[in-house]
Structure 1
Amino acid sequence: MNKQLTIQPRSALAELTATNTRELVRDGKTMFFVLLFPLFFLGLFWFIGYSTDADAATPHVVVAESTIGPEINESLENQGIATVPRNDPAANILLTIDGEHATVTLAATDQPSWSQTVQALRDIGIPRTAIDVVTTEGITAMDPLRTSMASILMVSFLSLAFLGTAVPLVSLRGQGTLRLLGTTPLKRSVFVLSQSPARFGLGLFQMILVISVTFYLGYLDIAHLPRLIVTALLGLIMLFSLGFLIGSRARNAEATTTVVSLLLPVALMLSGAVIPMQVFPESVVRVLEWLPTTVLANSLSTDLVGSDSGLSIGVSWAAMAAVAIVAAMITTKIFRWDSVIKK
């Protein structure tokens, strides 16, 4: 018997998954935006932080009494930072070390550059997560890159779910490809599921990239990594579900691209990375905190950079799971093969 006749054909899911993966990799525009977004925003917020720190006053550090005083003095000197006595008029940073925790207190009236002081502390073995940088008024110093890391990962997932999933799906409908598939016994759920593996792999790449940068910068406590991965995967599933929901009925790829492209910066701004939540009225904040994208960004920040989101991780997981389930159920009900609306 011919050997080819003995080979069992692959399932519809396997065939569609392989085909979709090839098409996605060949789509240069989609791949460009999906892979560029995390790199672009990482570079943008790094530049903001660098510019802010470069324009700040020259640091003159007062080192409070500490058991490792000589060691920190040497580390500060290696960073090119001058240490001065407490009564020196030029003093603008008070450095306090308590065991493995350190506090860098900045003069509120003339805030100095503090990144090199933090690096000096890291050089003597104090982790970045154990270093607090505050003003004399008790306000946490603004660190643009640290504040934005969770939102960067959230927007990266969002670009993948919307630009990399919803828009190509709408394009297939506009080209008539979905209409042809609709004439076959193929189930909607199988088709939707076949779109996920390749995009899920890209999402994992985005996650690994942002987590690696965060760990390198010292913001991530490795003990929180398992919970962070669960949060990221759950958030990715939630956004995929929303992406499929948008692509389940839309007919015009250009209009869909325009709409979802506008949603990306809006989601970034409302997550607190660009516009602090404090500028909004309390009633508005209560609404914004429950947006799916904001819930994801806040949940990621809890373990990614050690921020307090004010919402327990269990509640966040439940909220994201609920959104994913509801969106998936609606998608399977309203998904349309054809671009023509039947009257």
Structure 2
Amino acid sequence: MNTSLMRELTLLQTREFVRDRRYFYFALIFPLGMMGLFLGMALLFPGEPDPEFSLRGIVVPMAIFMALTSVGFMATAAPLAAMRSKGTLRLLGTTPVSRAQVILSHMPARLGLVLAQVAAMLAVGVAVGAAELSAVPALFGVSLLGLAMFGALGYLMGGLLATPDVAANVSTLVQLAALFLSGFVFPLDLLPDPAAQVLRYLPTTFFADLMATQLPGGEAVHPVWLSVTVVLATTAVCILLAVRTFRWDQGEAG
């Protein structure tokens, strides 16, 4: 692999990402804004401590979840689709740059943004008592696993979807589904049993299960080792599919 080429391509992709007001600022501001909103509610209306559920205790993991999915989906799939619709990817396809190099050079800026967000969220959470200091290493590790899986899925979508609007809409739907149908916000037991049984075995639910182990009174549905295995396996499959199905232009079959 040409390191000089990769360095220049990575710098180019990073500049384009930071300059992209639509997707960069959404991924930057939305999770932090939602964290501030729910943290403010938890601090203003603390209520009685509940060992089974605590709004303050769920704020940081939920904010991290939104940060991971915002960057993994909206800030990854839509910009890639925009590059395709503008013909940028088609131009890159005429150069020695490979599909894998395009994806790899696209990652560092997103990784840096998520790492900064997660670090800030954990620091604020510990400072205001919304997160235990002892849970910080585990939450950070789980966040890296989640970023790998959601990012890989985002690259898969971005490599296939034709326009940024379609990619943005699909990203929003997938993000909301991942948040509300993984048992992270609402217990799956509230759903009809057949639906709950199916949802329990989605990769996003396994990731939410890992996050749940860090919540006050949180209990994992699956063993931790199984959840980690499923998340890593899903990441590997999505990366392989993302590289194989990546399209340089809208008319390309694959």
- TM-score, normalising length: structure 1: 0.67
Aligned residue in 2 for 1:186? 97
Whether the aligned pair in 1 keeps the contact of 2:53 and 2:217 (CA below 8 Å) is no
Deviations 1:13-64 (A, max 9, x none): 11110101111111122221111122222133235435654xxxxxxxxxxx
Larger radius of gyration: 1
Q: Are 2:156 and 2:242, in contact at CA under 8 Å, matched by a contact in 1?
A: yes
Partners in 1 of 2:187 and 2:176 — Cα distance? Answer: 14
* Partner Cα distance (1:150, 1:170) in 2: 29
Letter in 2 for 1:20: Q
Q: Which of these residues, 227, 234, 258, is aligned with residue 138 of structure 2?
A: 227
Which of 323, 326, 331 aligns to 2:242? It is 331
Partner of 1:284: 195
What whole-Å deviation, never above 9, does each CA across 1:213-272 have from its counterpart, x for those lacking one? 332243544334333322211111111100000011111111211221233233222233
Q: 1:243 to 1:289 in 2, by over 3 A?
A: same
Q: Distance in 2 between matches of 1:176 and 1:291?
A: 35
> Equivalent residue for 2:107?
196
Gaps of 5+ in 1: 1-8, 54-112, 115-132, 135-139
The residue type equivalent to 2:193 in the other structure is E
**What is the match of residue 317 of structure 1?**
228
**Counterpart-to-counterpart distance in 2, 1:37 and 1:295:** 24
Secondary structure in 1 aligned to 2:220? Answer: coil
Q: Structure 2 vs 1, CA of residues 212 and 291 (structure 1 numbering), >3 Å: closer, same or farther?
A: farther
Residue 141 (structure 1) shift: 5.6
8 Å contact kept, 1:219–1:305: no
Structure with bigger helix share is 2
* Residues 148 and 222 (structure 1), Cα distance of their counterparts in 2 relative to 1, 3 Å cut: closer
Letter in 2 for 1:172: M
Corresponding letter in the other structure for 1:49? A
Task: Indicate how the Cα distance of structure 1 residues 18 and 244 shifts in structure 2: closer, same or farther if over 3 A, else same.
Answer: same
Q: Is the 8 A contact 1:161 1:242 kept in 2?
A: yes
Aligned equivalent of 2:122: 211
CA, structure 1 residues 52+211, in 2 after alignment: closer, same or farther (shift >3 Å)? same
1:20 aligned onto 2:26: no
- Does residue 34 of the first structure (1) align with residue 24 of the second (2)? no
Q: What is the deviation of 1:286?
A: 2.7
The amino acid of 1:164's aligned partner reads A
Distance (whole Å) between structure 2 residues aligned to residue 44 and residue 287 of structure 1: 32
Query: Match of 1:193, as an amino acid?
Result: L
**Of the candidates 4, 15, 29, which is equivalent to residue 11 of structure 1?**
4
Tell me how far apart the structure 2 counterparts of residues 300 and 206 of structure 1 sit (CA, whole Å).
Answer: 16
Return the letter of the residue paired with 1:210. M
Greater relative contact order: 1 or 2 (C-alpha under 8 angstroms, separation 6 or more)?
2
CA deviations 1:278-325 (Å, max 9, x no partner) are 311233223223333332222123236562223222111111100000
Label 1:37 to 1:289 Cα distance change in 2 as closer, same or farther (>3 A).
Answer: farther
SS of the equivalent of 2:75 reads helix
- Higher strand proportion: 1
Moved more, 221-230 or 258-267: 221-230
CA distance in 2, matches of 1:161, 1:41: 17
Distance 1:168 1:200 in 2: 15
Aligned-pair identity (%):
34
How far apart in 2 are the matches of 1:237 and 1:223?
A: 23
Contact 2:57 2:131 in 1 (8 A): no
Task: State the alpha-carbon separation in 2 of the partners of residues 309 and 45 from structure 1.
Answer: 24
Query: 3-state SS of the aligned residue for 1:195?
Result: helix
Over 3 Å counting, the alpha-carbon distance change for 1:283 and 1:151 in structure 2 is farther
Q: Are the equivalent residues in 2 in contact too, given 1:176–1:338 (CA < 8 A)?
A: yes
Structure 1 residues 28-177: aligned runs within 5 Å: 28-49=21-42, 53=46, 113-114=47-48, 133-134=49-50, 140=51, 142-177=53-88
C-alpha separation in 1, matches of 2:149 and 2:4: 26
Paired residues in the alignment total 253
What is the RMSD computed on CA atoms of the aligned residues? 2.3
**TM-score, normalising length: structure 2:** 0.89
Q: 1:36 to 1:313 in 2, by over 3 A?
A: same
